[in-house]
Amino acid sequence: MTYETSIGLRYLRSKRKEAFISFTTWISVVGIAIGVLALIIVIAVMTGFQNEIRERILGINPHILVMSIDKDIQEPSKLVNTIKEIDGVTQAFPFVSFQAMIQSGKQLSGVVVKGLNAEDVKFMGNLLKEGNISALNSKGSVLIGKEMAKHMGLLSGDTFVVMIPFGGVSPMGAIPETVRVKVGGIFETGMYEIDNTLIIMPLKDVEDIIGAGVTGIEVKLKDVYRANDIRKEIGKRLGFGYFGRTWIEMNKNLFSALKLEKIAMFIILALVILVASFNIISSLVMTVKEKKKDIAILKAMGAKKKSIMKIFMIEGIAIGVVGALIGSFSGYMICEIQRRFQIIKLAPDVYYITTLPMMISILDVFLIASTTMIICTLSTLYPSYKASKIDPVEALRYE
């Protein structure tokens, strides 16, 4: 340990006559710790919400959606087999989608009907609140969202009417067609728009009703972050006439907004740490004034300006290190306690999430602690520079 380090750390320990300086030092440590703690908790909550939204979107929506330039996809089974051969693809299946109206009693609502095979929607098993996926094996059975069921007053086993505006053809053109279906199950994704508008119907029933071919192919991946690479591979294998869209592209605005909000909150809360760092400046300024005699003696003994600066920079950096360590440890522990024991609850009638989600990574903690240290180091420059400029002759003249 160099003498600069030894002296700098010793100045952190108070004597009786310097108790106020020690008090301001501890205030600086507490300020830095609270700033780091707040930043870690806020970033953890925002990351948790972002992850929760992503999981809910990916729970029901495709990771990659393959479409044809033509209206319908020809020979869908052949394309599905080709896509399944690609490394990283866990599931691929055809679907048909169209818009319709439903009626139950006096209630009317617009919906999106998606035709799927029962074996292709096993991934929805954990989303079902009532009924079973196997209901799609029965003709006329459908799965509906929880919000739609609530709005239309439907329960599992109830029947209602689906009105397809282009279901039939007459000499005058397309005419509406009505189909009576039964609620085979009720699902909840946690996304209001999906739960209030989506109906899943057996693929064969949809093809019989509207007489159209497959609209597209949904693809599920082992690693959702490889979606762009796998989409390019799908394009190469299927050739011209087909294109794919990833879950990132389909929800670009949402995730861009969440990312921007996270960055904005990081900057705003970093300002809290910046404000706390002013306590370090004031503490060091008072220490410099108190230690003028010591600085003058050190200079008279041959200490260089650089060494004097180093002494007070070490003192300020030590305050930042202690505050960052206390804040980082406390913040990480609070996040872990909430993640494991889910102490903070959310109102289920207001939020689709029952507990406050927190997700923090070591990388985030390291980034926050590093930012704190940079701010604290910069805050030591001015007081340290002023200390190095003290003239030993002037300081010792009246001693």
The predicted pLDDT at position 386 comes to 92
Quote the CA–CA distance of 271 and 98 in Å, as a whole number. 50
pLDDT tens column, 317-332: 999 999 999 999 999 9
The predicted pLDDT at position 87 comes to 95
For the chain, how many residues are written? 399
Model confidence at 195: pLDDT above 80: yes
Q: What integer is the mean pLDDT of 281-303?
A: 87
* pTM for this entry: 0.80
Under the banding of pLDDT at 50, 70 and 90, the label for residue 184 is very high
Give me Rg for the CA atoms of the chain.
33
The predicted pLDDT at position 16 comes to 47
Instruction: Count CB neighbours of 27 within 10 A.
Output: 16
Q: Could you tell me the two tokens for 96?
A: 């048909």
Quote the CA–CA distance of 190 and 352 in Å, as a whole number. 5
Q: Is 351 helix (H, G, I), strand (E, B) or coil?
A: coil
Model confidence at 3: pLDDT above 90: no
Quote the CA–CA distance of 82 and 260 in Å, as a whole number. 38
Under the banding of pLDDT at 50, 70 and 90, the label for residue 14 is low
Quote the CA–CA distance of 205 and 211 in Å, as a whole number. 10
Residues contacting 59, CB < 8 A, separation 6+: 123, 124, 127, 189
Exposure b/e, 321-345, CB count within 10 A at least 16 = b: bbbbbbbbebbbebbeebbeeeeee
What is the identity of the amino acid at 252? K
- Residue from 307, 315, 327 nearest 369 by CA: 327
Question: How high is the mean pLDDT of the chain?
Answer: 88
The predicted pLDDT at position 21 comes to 55
